[in-house]
Amino acid sequence: MERREFLKNSALASSAFMVPSFVKAFENVAKKSLGFKKLVIVQLAGGNDGLNTIIPYRNDIYYKERPRLAIKKEDVLKISDDLGFHKNLGPLKNLYDQGYLSIINNVGYPNPNRSHFRSTDIWHTASNADEYLSTGWLGRYIDTYGKFPYTGIEVDDSLSLIMKGEKMNGIATQNAKTLFYTTNTPFFKKVLKTQEDEHLSEHNLGYLYKTMIEANSSATHIYNKSKTFKSSISYPSNAFGKQLKTTAEFINSNVESKVYYVTMGGFDTHYAQEGRQDKLLDIYSKSMEMFVKDLEQNDTFKDTLIVTFSEFGRRVKQNGSQGTDHGTANNLFIIGKNLKKQGFYNEQPNLADLDKNGDLKYKVDFRDIYATVLENWMEVDDEKILNKSFGKMDFI
């Protein structure tokens, strides 16, 4: 065989053997970059009434303590011999029937605080009731395991404590396009140019400059990535539905964000609770069903875990204004495609064993849930994020 022919045949053979390796390498890169785990935290702000959400419809104490506010047995969407969903949670029941929902009852923490602001801070920072932290647990995750601020996105116009780290914060935006254009206004560019002209080092860079630089870089990245995908799902026409649609577009466009935070307000039902909570649960349930459908349709639901919490529940006994006052323990929803424990994770609230204030006693520390999510879902060192060791649960 001539030298030229030998080299030609050798090149062809080498190429044939190299193709599978290249394809395999590409698959590995795609798997790591597109299939990473995402966590979506949803807060029902104001203190959702858990007892009128997941209803103990065979409990006489429930009806005795809420003679006008209790949900009638015939209106309950029954899911067990003792418990059922509020009538407006039909879409959530659909997720339950598919095995996509785990309900954890009696979630709270020791020495509960009944202030919206303080209890929210406790949930956001994963602190003890008497401990005050300036960083959020998702913010510490971004600090420790994120390379960029957009590792975490709060779908809102302002950033909550939950997303604030010591060295790096998440990004707050309801619209990637608006954020992008805002960070490219003449004023914004002038401030950044001033920083460049003065050659400030990162060590003495002012907090404002540093934040603006990070926002500018993150805004450009988020906008360029997210504009590649627009949802075709018809979400409910309300603020919460819009937030979830935006979140789905971020996830489905493969923005490299790993944690998201969405909040829905209005749950502080001290008066006229029935009509108000009915509407809120309808909005939550329908929007959440569309969100899951959107993720499923784009094959991202399998890599997304959704946690819904409220900063506290409500008092067992109704008040004189056809509402309920601030309480303690509550139910929490885990939504995902491959849950280990579907349906009810633990026992229902014990209405015959209340604390001295007439509130439910917590059985599950919410930080056990955080620790489980961090270790088993996000696959990181939960103690490093939560600053101490907490128990692990078996829902994922």
Enter the pTM of the model. 0.85
Q: What is the spatial distance between Cα 235 and Cα 239, in angstroms, rounded to a whole number? A: 10
Q: What is the spatial distance between Cα 125 and Cα 166, in angstroms, rounded to a whole number? A: 12
pLDDT-derived band at 336 (thresholds 50, 70, 90) equals very high
pLDDT in tens, 2-50: 555 544 454 433 333 344 444 444 444 444 445 689 999 999 999 999 9
For residue 85, report the phi and psi dihedrals to the nearest 5 degrees.
-85, 150
Nearest C-alpha neighbor of 338 from the set 372, 378, 303: 303
For 36-176+236-268+281-386, which CATH class? Answer: alpha beta
- Here the tokens at position 258 are 């790993």
Say which residue, 355 or 191, is predicted with more confidence. 355
pLDDT at 68: 96
Q: Among 73-77, 181-185, 256-260, name the one with the lowest average pLDDT.
A: 181-185
The answer to whether residue 205 scores a pLDDT higher than 70 is no
pLDDT at 175: 76
Burial (CB count within 10 angstroms: exposed 0-12, middle 13-18, buried 19+), residue 207: exposed
Q: What is the spatial distance between Cα 39 and Cα 37, in angstroms, rounded to a whole number? A: 7
pLDDT in tens, 260-313: 999 999 999 999 999 999 999 999 999 999 999 999 999 999 999 999 999 999
For residue 143, report the phi and psi dihedrals to the nearest 5 degrees.
-60, -45
**What's the rounded mean pLDDT across residues 174-203?**
58
- Here the tokens at position 185 are 């206004």
pLDDT in tens, 131-183: 999 999 999 999 999 988 889 999 998 999 999 999 999 999 987 666 554 65
